[in-house]
Amino acid sequence: MNISPILAAIALVPQPAKLVETGGVTKNAEIRYVTDSAVPAEGYRLKVAADGITVTSSDAAGRFYAGVTLAQLKDGNSWPCVEIEDAPAYRWRGAHLDECRHFFGKETVKQMLDLMAQHKLNRFHWHLTEDQGWRLDIPGYPELIKYGAARSASVRHGQRATKGSKEDADKLNGVKYGPYYYTEADVREIIAYAAERHITIVPEIELPGHVFAALAAYPEFACVPANLAAREPRLVWGIEKDVLCLGNDKAIKFMEDVLDYVCRLFPGDVVHIGGDECPQVRWKDCPKCQARIKAEGLKDVHDLQPWITRHFVKFLEARGKRALGWDEYLLGDVPKSAIGMSWRTRPKSGAGHALVSGAQAAVRGHDVVMTPNKFCYLDYGQCLPNDPFQYIGGKLPLETCYSFDPCADVPAEARKHILGGQCNNWSEYTWNEYDLAWKMWPRTCALAEVFWLGDAKPGFADFKRRMATHRGRLIAQGVNCAPLE
Ligand SMILES: [Zn+2]
């Protein structure tokens, strides 16, 4: 689109879908709000003219996003005269935060929510439980915090350790980490803060794998309780073999109690139940798990995860919530109401389609949020010269983020199932809020524009030009935004 030097100097991110400059500027800050049911959900029309500003929307979110655009348009004490017609391409525009490997706390979460709102992101996926830490106080289960919220050591800054081998032990720092966790009052405060910014929180409680911190609190819920003798979360990164014993009714009741509380605490419509990277080796040798397989008429250990997924999809549905999980949890016979969060980019066999796993799920009729690691994992390297921060691996420069298409590889007839996308902030190698901000920004700006504009995004050169100005806006707020290249 052709824009004047005035607007070029202002730079909107994400760019609105349609923008026409009507000429000149105005200092008239009087805003008139109009409701029009014809405006799409979360969309708005914005007219800035000499006689004032008119905002038209069908809902409160649209009105809010018009305000976000107005704030970016403001130049000193005036606005350029424009007419904007804008609405999101995708309804799920998310950002995720892993608070388990490293904990960031309430103030960082609030700043993240502020910045998400400024980029019209509307889902905060809060990763609260892991092998390395349990971060949510659950009534009736005090041991979760007592044993699950602190580690006696962590991987030393700058080191890598994932196996728990003797060599890995030398890479631990010996410094107590935590206890770090959120109380109910903290969570309620953050929910309210997010709601004011039209952001829905999606809490994640991992199951049946990635539960080692919970097992540290309640070793009897593991297949081999003796493996939890140290009574503390996993100290190194990587995938833990000790998972929830699915042959133990009390272990399942524990997860039900946790999820029942989570359903009551969080007002959002979706609860994430993990489901990724769950080794089956303990189930294989566990008499209780084998008895479960027999009693339920399952074929073998491969059927156990779909069995527990079906259970919790229905459990959440009975509480008015939809289940969301990493794409592995959709393997096997699982209700179509379960939403997938696709993080893998390599084609997987088994569904009869040479597609990425998220696309396969969409073809089978599941709604899917696309978060493929090659485009959306912000713990991958930015490829900046002399980057002082450590990454988990991989390469994800800004331009690659911007090239992301959530519907790539998805057949046309299945695209209605693609809810949107999300940037994921895993924190094994992200130690603090400065490190986190550097990895999030400006790459989150690129992904936010992808989720807002879809195919209508104007191209990387245009984005980069606007981003050069927009970066100053982030830095002025104290955000440790990385350079563009
Ligand atoms: Zn077991």
Residue 441 has pLDDT above 80, yes or no: yes
φ/ψ (deg, to 5) at 467: -65, -30
Confidence of residue 333 (pLDDT cuts 50, 70, 90): confident
Span 239-246, average pLDDT: 97
pLDDT at 396: 97
Lowest-confidence segment of 22-31, 187-196, 321-330, 351-360 by average pLDDT: 351-360
Mean pLDDT across the chain, nearest whole number? 95
CA distance 204 to 294: 30
The predicted-structure confidence for 18-42, as pLDDT tens digits, reads as follows: 999 999 999 988 999 999 999 999 9
Of 86, 116, 147, the residue at which a domain comes to its end is: 86
How crowded is residue 450: how many other Cβ atoms within 10 Å of its Cβ?
A: 27
- Measured in Å, residue 124 CA sits from the centre of ligand 1 at 33
pLDDT at 346: 62
Q: Strand locations in 229-320, DSSP E?
A: 270-274
Residues 193 and 242 in one domain: yes
Backbone region of residue 277 per phi and psi (left: phi > 0; alpha: psi in -120 to 50; beta: other values): left
Residue 352 has pLDDT above 80, yes or no: no
Span 317-340, average pLDDT: 93
Between helices 249-265 and 184-196, what is the axis angle to 10°?
50
- Measured in Å, residue 306 CA sits from the centre of ligand 1 at 15
Here the CATH number for the domain that contains residue 76 is 3.30.379.10
| Residue 13 C-alpha from the chain's centroid | 20
- Measured in Å, residue 223 CA sits from the centre of ligand 1 at 4
Interior/surface letters 86-97, b for 16+ CB within 10 angstroms, e for the rest: bbbbbebbbbbb
Residues 180 and 209 in one domain: yes
Residues 9 and 116 in one domain: no
- Measured in Å, residue 207 CA sits from the centre of ligand 1 at 14
Burial of residue 159, with CB atoms counted within 10 A of its CB: 0-12 exposed, 13-18 middle, 19 or more buried:
middle
Lowest-confidence segment of 37-51, 85-99, 260-274, 347-361 by average pLDDT: 347-361
- Measured in Å, residue 282 CA sits from the centre of ligand 1 at 6
The predicted-structure confidence for 165-209, as pLDDT tens digits, reads as follows: 999 999 999 999 999 999 999 999 999 999 999 999 999 999 999
The predicted-structure confidence for 375-397, as pLDDT tens digits, reads as follows: 999 999 999 999 999 999 999 99
Confidence of residue 347 (pLDDT cuts 50, 70, 90): low
In a domain, residue 372? The reply is: yes
- Measured in Å, residue 321 CA sits from the centre of ligand 1 at 28
Residue 2 has pLDDT above 90, yes or no: no
Q: Strand locations in 258-310, DSSP E?
A: 270-274
- Measured in Å, residue 247 CA sits from the centre of ligand 1 at 5
Span 72-98, average pLDDT: 97
In a domain, residue 481? The reply is: no
- Measured in Å, residue 450 CA sits from the centre of ligand 1 at 43
φ/ψ (deg, to 5) at 349: -85, 165
Side-chain half-sphere of 267: how many Cα atoms within 13 Å? 12
Residues 190 and 257 in one domain: yes
Residue 463 has pLDDT above 70, yes or no: yes
- Measured in Å, residue 305 CA sits from the centre of ligand 1 at 12
CA distance 291 to 88: 50
The number of domains in the chain is: 2
- Measured in Å, residue 206 CA sits from the centre of ligand 1 at 17
- Measured in Å, residue 291 CA sits from the centre of ligand 1 at 9
- Measured in Å, residue 16 CA sits from the centre of ligand 1 at 53
Of 86, 121, 140, the residue at which a domain comes to its end is: 86
Confidence of residue 349 (pLDDT cuts 50, 70, 90): very low
In a domain, residue 485? The reply is: no
Of 55, 70, 86, the residue at which a domain comes to its end is: 86
φ/ψ (deg, to 5) at 96: -115, 150
- Measured in Å, residue 222 CA sits from the centre of ligand 1 at 6
- Measured in Å, residue 213 CA sits from the centre of ligand 1 at 17
- Measured in Å, residue 280 CA sits from the centre of ligand 1 at 10
pLDDT at 332: 84
- Measured in Å, residue 152 CA sits from the centre of ligand 1 at 27
pLDDT at 409: 85
pLDDT at 354: 57
Q: Which amino acid is at 183?
A: T
In a domain, residue 25? The reply is: yes
Residues of the chain with pLDDT > 90: what percent?
Answer: 92
- Measured in Å, residue 79 CA sits from the centre of ligand 1 at 64
In a domain, residue 158? The reply is: yes
Here the CATH number for the domain that contains residue 295 is 3.20.20.80
Residues 68 and 116 in one domain: no
- Measured in Å, residue 229 CA sits from the centre of ligand 1 at 17
In a domain, residue 484? The reply is: no
Residue of 320 and 345 predicted with greater confidence: 320
Residues 73 and 98 in one domain: no
- Measured in Å, residue 131 CA sits from the centre of ligand 1 at 17
- Measured in Å, residue 289 CA sits from the centre of ligand 1 at 4
Residue 355 has pLDDT above 60, yes or no: yes
CA distance 91 to 24: 34
- Measured in Å, residue 316 CA sits from the centre of ligand 1 at 23
Confidence of residue 350 (pLDDT cuts 50, 70, 90): very low
Residues 104 and 67 in one domain: no
Residues 100 and 46 in one domain: no
pTM of structure:
0.97
CA distance 130 to 216: 11
Residues 121 and 20 in one domain: no
What angle (nearest 5°) sits at the alpha carbon of residue 451, between those of residues 321 and 317?
A: 10
- Measured in Å, residue 99 CA sits from the centre of ligand 1 at 28
CA distance 481 to 23: 33
Contact yes or no for 421/370 (Cβ under 8 A) = yes
In a domain, residue 114? The reply is: yes
Residues 38 and 183 in one domain: no
- Measured in Å, residue 211 CA sits from the centre of ligand 1 at 13
In a domain, residue 482? The reply is: no
Residue 396, domain extent: 92-476
- Measured in Å, residue 351 CA sits from the centre of ligand 1 at 28
The predicted-structure confidence for 202-240, as pLDDT tens digits, reads as follows: 999 999 999 999 999 999 999 999 999 999 999 999 999
- Measured in Å, residue 246 CA sits from the centre of ligand 1 at 5
Confidence of residue 438 (pLDDT cuts 50, 70, 90): very high
Residues 390 and 438 in one domain: yes
Token reading at 70: 């107005």
- Measured in Å, residue 333 CA sits from the centre of ligand 1 at 21
Span 271-276, average pLDDT: 96
Span 131-151, average pLDDT: 98
Residues 382 and 467 in one domain: yes
Burial of residue 284, with CB atoms counted within 10 A of its CB: 0-12 exposed, 13-18 middle, 19 or more buried:
middle
Examine residue 208 and say whether the peptide bond preceding it is cis (omega within 30 degrees of 0): yes
Confidence of residue 4 (pLDDT cuts 50, 70, 90): confident
